[in-house]
Amino acid sequence: MKKFTILLASLAVMASSVPAFAGKDRIITVGELPAVAQQFVQTHFKAVEVSYAKVDEELFDKDYKVVFVNGSKVEFAKDGAWKEVDCKYGEVPAAIVPQQIRDYVAKNYPDRKSAAFLGVYECGIHEFITNYIVPQDNANRCDTRWFMLGDSERWKIQVKGLQPLCFRIWPYGEEDLEGKEHAHELPERDFINLNIDSNIHGVGGNDGWGAQTMKPYTIDGNRSYRYGFIMEYMDKTE
């Protein structure tokens, strides 16, 4: 089992609850790591300079640790399999994050974001949305600092929040959800439907999908809210 720690992340998957005992630490070169560990470093931390590597040799076991100049650390077992990745000052490589965590991070709501990592993500609009069995509101992202839309080769629209924002993007309109029973019934329009909010209502269902949203995650529709953002258009063809 693996363990992650990342700046402002709220989920850690623990590798083991067995305490580690001090052994005999020895500084080594990256070339002295097991082949599997060397490949991991080359694949996922190729652009990061290694500060040092060491081996901790115990009576019946050994493990390895690699520390990078940016503060990231990776621990490996005797056979070279990674045990822990600590990226307090950077991003955990997306490829090593379990799929179930990546799926959860893909969308989040005020009462469904405890496992959502703060980071920089990139995807196409069809990967951004969630096609539920019955079409409904989907794909929201909370606590967003900035986001960018566009064709990377020609134009971009960047939105920077004056405070954290909620936003979602669909290739169809709000009215297209009405009366649809299956995702394949949704049309693909010739526009992008972008919604930017200060905050949104939580989804509820903490003890079953019939449960109402808890009060801290409920939006009062009888009061006004103020929020701001800066929208910048960039066109490389001009």
CB–CB of 67/53 below 8 Å? Answer: yes
Smallest Cα–Cα separation from 33: which of 78, 95, 3, 1? 78
SS3 138: coil
From CA 214, how far away is CA 111, in angstroms rounded? 8
From CA 142, how far away is CA 202, in angstroms rounded? 11
Per-residue pLDDT of the chain (238 residues; tens, 9 = 90+): 444 333 333 333 333 333 344 457 899 999 999 999 999 999 999 989 999 999 998 878 899 999 999 888 999 999 999 998 887 666 677 778 776 566 555 567 887 777 677 777 878 888 888 888 899 989 899 989 999 998 767 788 999 999 999 999 999 999 999 999 999 999 999 999 999 999 988 887 766 556 788 888 888 888 899 999 999 998 876 6
Q: β-pairing, 24-28 with 50-57?
A: antiparallel
**Which are the contacts of 110, defined by CB distance < 8 A and separation ≥ 6?**
142, 199, 200, 201, 202, 217
Strands (E), 77-152: 82-87, 141-151
SS3 24: strand
Phi/psi-derived region of residue 130, left when phi > 0, alpha when psi is between -120 and 50, beta in every other case: beta
First and final CA of the chain: distance in angstroms? 52
- Domains detected in the chain: 3-87 (3.40.1420.30), 102-235 (2.70.98.10)
Give the H or E element holding residue 125.
helix 125-128
From CA 181, how far away is CA 124, in angstroms rounded? 24
CB–CB of 116/148 below 8 Å? Answer: no
What does pTM read for this prediction? 0.55
Smallest Cα–Cα separation from 87: which of 127, 117, 42? 117
